[in-house]
Amino acid sequence: MNFLSLRRSLLLSASVVALAFAGCDSLRPISSKPPLARIDLTQTHTSTWKSAVMPLMKYNVILPSGEYRPVFEDDKFFYYQAPTRVIYRDLNSSLLDGGIRLPRSTSTPWGWYCLSEDGTMFTGDFKTPLPTR
Sorted by sequence, the CB contacts under 8 Å of residue 71 that are 6+ apart come out as: 29, 30, 79, 80, 81, 99
pLDDT in tens, 15-37: 443 444 444 558 899 999 999 99
C-alpha–C-alpha distance, residues 44 and 94, integer Å: 16
Q: Which of 92, 100, 104, 106 is nearest to 123 (CA)?
A: 100
pLDDT in tens, 51-75: 777 677 888 999 999 999 999 999 9
Quick check: helix, strand or coil at residue 79? Answer: strand
pTM of the model: 0.77
